[in-house]
Amino acid sequence: MKLIAERTGRHVLSLPSNRLGLYLALRHWCVPGQRLLMSPISADEILFLVLAAGLRPVIAPLSPRDGNIDATRVDLGTVDAVLTTNLYGLPDDVSAFAGKVLVEDVAHAMETDVGGRPLGTFGQAGVFSLSKHPGAGSGGVLAVEHASDLEALTAARDDLLARGSVWADTMSVATSMVRQAALKFDLVRPALKLARALGLQEEREGFRIALDPDGLESALKHVPALPPFDPWVRADLHRYRARRGRLAHWYQGRRVAKVPGERARRLAGVQRLAELPTVAPAVLDDLSRPLFRVPLLVRDRDAAIAELERHGVATGYLYDPPYDDYAPAFTEHSPDPAPARWWARHVLPVDPMYTARSLPILRRLEPPTPLP
Ligand SMILES: Cc1ncc(COP(=O)(O)O)c(C=O)c1O
């Protein structure tokens, strides 16, 4: 919290997850029925919390350079607000959205600056996730410009918080510690097997959770309201709006405090991965960005994931297919869906903190057939 407040110079609100913060920001700055421009490529829960806020998701064309909104090809006159993704830490073109209500999802971009200014300080709100760079398992921070907004946002958060549980906090801290240890001691394969055997992984259809269009239609009758959308928004983090106690906050604080000390190692990993011929072009724009993941674009992505897993490297944060293919009845489609489909099929996000194990495999991967 303190670190994010200092970094952004903003007023901050502590949350059990980033996704709750995004919902609160959209409810605070938008009115149900408004049109929200968003990328087709982001985590499943983001689409559902936009729907829960009563907004119309207008899917933007995607830039195949960075996997974010292609700001040169959007008609801002047709939307009321914009939600950026800053995918894997690569910045959206924030300057292009000046004058619009802008909510920045900086889950992946905790350490990304644009022109010397931290992401998360350009819009009305920036929302951080403590489970990304810090690896705290859960936690979010909403950063806003004006203290006057914080009062209403705090009240809205408190209305939505579900009861906490010391036992559940203990389990989630322990799970996060085991995950960190598995990464450190090269035990990812057995840890993945165990997680699958214990049913700790969310059921998925490909990379996305099941859509359940009928259930979604029923939930939409209650908008704006978050609880009816819990079955979708809670993907991979069932306690996304559960109040956290002392232990969880202590652990989150400890993990966040480690982030600055890990910066040099993260940057070294980014720079090593940037030498690969498969690296996404925008990574090369600025090699001083401590990215959350480094996106490569590879011919046979799914085979690469399997090969990496055989060598103890797990791949996450895959958002395939794009939202307008995933939930066609619930989105306004992108005017040009091809770049997003291409990106979703070929992107391989790589953790720059653990490149020693992945690089020998990554060096053998070939770029995809270019987008026509
Ligand atoms: C781009 C993006 N935004 C937001 C989130 C949600 O973060 P949290 O789990 O803290 O709610 C995720 C989680 O994976 C994400 O990848």
Residues 268 and 258 in one domain: no
Q: Whose alpha carbon is nearest atom 3 of ligand 1?
A: 107
Q: Which of 246, 262, 278 is the last residue in one of the domains? A: 262
Whole-number pLDDT of residue 251: 97
Residues 217 and 249 in one domain: yes
Residue 197 C-alpha to ligand 1 middle, in angstroms?
24
Residue 42 C-alpha to ligand 1 middle, in angstroms?
8
Residues 270 and 224 in one domain: no
Q: Is residue 310 part of a domain?
A: yes
Whole-number pLDDT of residue 196: 78
Residue 43 C-alpha to ligand 1 middle, in angstroms?
6
Residue 353 C-alpha to ligand 1 middle, in angstroms?
19
Domain count, the chain: 2
**Domain that residue 287 falls in:** 263-362
Q: Is residue 372 part of a domain?
A: no
CA distance 219 to 31: 18
Report which ligand 1 atom has the smallest distance to the Cα of 319: 16
Q: Mean pLDDT in each 10-residue stretch from start to end of the chain (372 residues)?
A: 94 98 98 98 98 98 98 97 98 97 98 97 98 96 96 98 96 90 82 77 86 98 98 96 97 97 98 98 98 98 96 94 98 98 98 96 97 86
Report which ligand 1 atom has the smallest distance to the Cα of 131: 10
Q: Whose alpha carbon is nearest atom 4 of ligand 1?
A: 107
Q: Quickly count: other Cβ atoms within 10 Å of residue 151's Cβ.
A: 11
Whole-number pLDDT of residue 198: 77
Q: Is residue 35 part of a domain?
A: yes
Report which ligand 1 atom has the smallest distance to the Cα of 240: 11
Residues 37 and 57 in one domain: yes
Residues 177 and 319 in one domain: no
Element (H, E) at 361: helix 355-362
Q: Whose alpha carbon is nearest atom 15 of ligand 1?
A: 43
Whole-number pLDDT of residue 180: 87
User: 0.95 cut: is pTM over it?
Assistant: yes
Residue 338 C-alpha to ligand 1 middle, in angstroms?
24
CB 66 within 8 A of CB 108: no
Residues 188 and 293 in one domain: no
Phi then psi for 327, rounded to 5 degrees? -130, 65
Q: Quickly count: other Cβ atoms within 10 Å of residue 136's Cβ.
A: 25
Ligand 1 residue neighbourhood (C-beta within 6 Å) = 17-19, 42-43, 46, 85, 105, 107-108, 129, 131, 140, 237, 240, 317
CB 112 within 8 A of CB 289: yes
Q: Whose alpha carbon is nearest atom 13 of ligand 1?
A: 43
Report which ligand 1 atom has the smallest distance to the Cα of 129: 10
137 Cβ neighbours under 8 A, 6+ residues apart: 131, 172, 173, 175, 176, 179, 251
Q: Which of 230, 262, 294 is the last residue in one of the domains? A: 262
Q: Quickly count: other Cβ atoms within 10 Å of residue 201's Cβ.
A: 11
